Amino acid sequence: MTSATTADIVIAGAGIGGLSAALALHARGIKSTVLEAAGEIRPLGVGINIQPAAIACLTGLGLGQALAATGIPTREHRYLDHLGATLWTESRGIAAGHPFPQYSIHRGELQLLLLDAVRTRLGAGAVRTGTRLHTYEQSRDGVRVHAHDRDSGSSVTFHAAALIGADGLHSAVRSRLHPGKAGLNGAGVQMWRGLTELDGFLDGRTMILANDENATRLVAYPISARYAERGKALLNWVLLVSMGSPGPAAEAAWDLPGVIDDILPYLADWDFGWFDVRDALARSGQILRYPMVDREPLEHWGQGRVTLLGDAAHLMYPIGANGASQAIIDAAALADALDGSADVADALERYENVRRPATNAIVQANRKMDSAERVAAAGAETDRTTALATITADYRATVEHRPTPA
C-alpha cells in the first residue's frame, strides 16, 4: 500500500545539517518534512567542534542559550609534543575576536537539541523516523519522493517543491545525482575516539593537539557544560595513527568498536607529566574506530529541484573541525536562497554557487593541513613552532568568515 503526503520541502536525513535546514527554513516561513531512516534518534557519537560562523547561524535561530547550557566555549588550541611541551598556542572563539564562541559539544546532544527545536516549532510529525528514501522523480512542478516506512512496511510518496539530500556519508540522494562517484579517499590514517570522565582538564576550555615524531596525533578537549558545573570534565579524545599512504578507501563506518590494546603501543613513549594519556584513554567507556576519509569535490551538487547539503555534498577530513559547521552554514545559505524565490530550481542553483566553492576549498585545505602537520611533526622544536604558526594562519585565511546571524 502506498500513501501520499504533501510537503513544501523534503529533507532526507535528520542529522545536524538536515535539522538545521528545517529550522532555518521554518524561520523564513517555509515548511519542511525531514525523513530519517533510523527508527529512533539517540544521542550517539562523541565530541565535535562547532565554529563561530556556524554558532552565529544557530544563535540567530534562537538556540544560543541551549548551546551555552550544553557545550564548552573553547578558548585555546594548545599544540604539544609527545612529552607535553607546548609548541604553539592559538586563541579560539571569542578569545580570538569572534563575536560568537567556538563550542566543543557532544554530537548526539547537539542533534537532540536541534531535534527538540524542530519538533517544538514545526510539529511532532515534522521528523518522520523509520522512513528511508528510496528514489525520486522530478517534474516541472515539483518532486515526487518515494520512501519506505519501516513501521507499517508500506511505501509513502511525498509531493514536494524540492528535495534536499542531507543524508550523510552514505547519501541515497547523492548516489542518484552522481552515480559512480561515491568512492572514498583515505588519508592512510586510522582514528580511534572515546570519552573519559576526569576530575578536570587544564582550565576546562582548552583543546590539546599533540604529535610525536611518527605523526601519531592526539586531540583532546572537554565537551560538556553539565560536567563542568559539577567540577568534572567529559574529555573527548581522538587518536590518529598513520597506517599507510593516501589513496582509495574501502567503505567506511563510524561505529566500529575499538580496543584499547590496539592503541596503547602507539603511546609507549608518550609522557606529559601533568596528564596520564594512556590512563585517560584506557578509562574510556567505549572506543570507536574508523578510517579518516573524504571525497573528491563535485563539479556540481544538484539538478533542478534536488540538491545536497553537509557530508552528502562535501565529505571532508575532520582535520580543522569543520564538517558539522559547514553543514549548518549550508542550511542557512539554503534558507536564504529559497526565501521569497518564485523559482525553486534557480534558488537551489544560487545556493550551490555560494556554498560549493567555499566547501570545496575547505576539503582541500583540510588535506593540506593534515599533510603539513605531519611534516612539521618530524622537525626540530623551533621549526615545528614556526611551521604550526604558518599552518594555522593559512588555514584560518581559507575557512574563516563571520556572517551576521541568520
Q: Distance between alpha carbon 3 and the CA centroid of its chain, in Å?
A: 34
Mean pLDDT (whole number) for 202-223:
96
Q: For 17-55, write each residue's pLDDT tens digit.
A: 999 999 999 999 999 999 999 999 888 889 999 999 999
Find residue 207's DSSP bridge partners. Answer: 77
Confidence band for 406, pLDDT divided at 50, 70 and 90:
very low
Share of the chain above pLDDT 70, in %: 95
Residue 351: pLDDT above 60?
yes
Q: What is the DSSP string of 170-202?
A: T-HHHHHHSTT--PEEEEEEEEEEEEEEES--T
Specify the pTM: 0.95
pLDDT at 1: 41
Q: Give the count of beta carbons closer than 10 Å to the beta carbon of residue 283.
A: 15
CB contact at 8 A, 46 and 193: yes
Residue 257: pLDDT above 50?
yes
pLDDT at 403: 42
pLDDT at 375: 85
Mean pLDDT (whole number) for 146-164:
93
pLDDT at 250: 62
Residue 177: pLDDT above 60?
yes
Looking at domain 2-182+295-399, its CATH architecture is: 3-Layer(bba) Sandwich (3.50)
Lowest mean pLDDT among 182-186, 265-269, 301-305, 379-383: 379-383
Mean pLDDT (whole number) for 147-163:
92
CB contact at 8 A, 93 and 73: yes
pLDDT at 382: 73
pLDDT at 44: 83
pLDDT at 42: 87
Confidence band for 402, pLDDT divided at 50, 70 and 90:
very low
Q: How far apart are CA 379 and CA 372, in angstroms?
A: 11
Residue of 318, 317, 300 lying closest to 308 (CA atoms) = 300
Residue 138: pLDDT above 80?
yes
Gyration radius of the chain over CA positions: 21
Residue 401: pLDDT above 70?
no
Mean pLDDT (whole number) for 118-134:
96
Domain chopping of the chain, boundaries: 2-182+295-399
Average pLDDT, the chain: 93
